[in-house]
Structure 1
Amino acid sequence: MFDKMRRLPDAELEVMKAIWDNTPPMSTNDVMKVISNEKNWNISTLLTLLSRLIDRGFLSSEKRGRERIYYPQVEREEYMEYETKNFIKKLHKNSFMSLVNTLYDNNDLTEQDIDELSQWLEEKKNNG
């Protein structure tokens, strides 16, 4: 899927997060209820975003009675993996250490983060 996947614009990502965070399938009205808590979008804006997500292969839809319902075709974890790999590749030249150094140098890593990372690395080392 990664060869066809592309980065989502922020507005489309907000729609996908609303669908991922709830139990699919979701109707247009269900998505609107969730989105309206955070965004002041009208229904036509949402319909445009849903249509784009279908065109990009992130959603499928079907008509059920008078409503249209939406099913995710890309799982959150799959998209997160794509975005993370793309981010590290683009900005850190595929270097995990570059990412960690940036976080450390900017004081974005707490002692707890460092301890958890150390523990995670030790577990991977022992299990791998």
Structure 2
Amino acid sequence: MKINHLTSAEENLMRLLWKLGSFYLKDIMEQHPDPKPHQNTVSTYLKILVEKGYLSTEKEGRIFRYHTVVPFEEYRKFLLSELCDHFFNGSGKEILNFMIHENLVSAEDLKDFNIEITPIQKKEPDFKYANEILNPKKDKKKSKDKKKKKKKEKE
């Protein structure tokens, strides 16, 4: 099943629709939190979601009954896969590393999966080469000291 991207407005509406599962337009209007959008706006979004393959329709007399086609879990997998591919070079390890460093996943969370991590100690940056580049005077001083030593040795 090919899953298409949703806009943020479509995604927000889908969150409500996933809770409902099967519904009529009036059900959405009743369940939608305030401020409620206009019925025509919701109807337009439903049409778009049907075209994108997220919903199916069943005509009952003059009205339509809608059903979610793409389960929430499938959409979540799709989004995580896209995120992994576009921002983490397709590496789950990079995602996990990022989440740990950003404190989005704790060591306690990982214990639930029988995974233990040791706190990573941040190393102080080594500015040895940067100092040599930024402070060339030290190099000149060293060369002057060497010249003085050579003079003393000659004497």
Q: TM-score, normalised by structure 1?
A: 0.79
Please tell me the residue identity of whatever aligns with 1:63: K
| Aligned counterpart, 2:29 | 32
- Summarize the Cα distance change of 1:100–1:20 in structure 2 as closer, same or farther, 3 Å threshold: same
**Deviations for 1:54-98, whole angstroms, at most 9, x for unmatched residues?**
111111112223432101121112211111111111111111111
Q: Which residue of 1 aligns with 2:124?
A: none
CA contact (8 A) 2:84 2:92 kept: yes
Where relative contact order (Cα < 8 A, 6+ residues apart) is larger, the structure is 1
Bigger radius of gyration among the two: 2
What are the superposed Cα offsets for residues 93-114 of structure 1, whole Å, 9 maximum, x if unpaired? 1111111111111122223212
Cα pair 2:24 2:65 within 8 Å, conserved: yes
Question: Corresponding residue for 1:122?
Answer: none
Q: Work out which of the residue numbers 55, 60, 64 in structure 1 matches 2:60.
A: 64
- Structure 2, unpaired ranges of 5+: 116-155
Code of the residue aligned with 1:28 in structure 2: it is: L
Matched, 1:19 2:6: no
The residue that corresponds to 1:10 in the other structure is 8
Matched pairs, number: 115
* Equivalent pair of 2:29/2:36 in contact (CA under 8 Å): no
What's the % identity of the aligned pairs?
25
CA-CA distance at 1:9 after TM superposition: 1.0
Moved over 3 A (4+): none
Q: How big is the shift at 1:38?
A: 5.2
Give the structure-2-normalised TM-score: 0.67
- Cα deviation for residue 39 of structure 1 reads 4.8
How far apart are the structure 2 equivalents of 1:109 and 1:73?
31
Instruction: Say which SS state the counterpart of residue 71 (structure 1) adopts.
Output: strand
Query: SS of 2:112's equivalent?
Result: helix
Unaligned runs of 5+ in 1: 120-128
Q: Does 1:73 align with 2:69?
A: yes
Structure 1 residues 47 and 91 mapped into 2: Cα distance closer, same or farther (>3 Å)? same
- Please point out which of 71, 77, 84 is paired with 2:80: 84
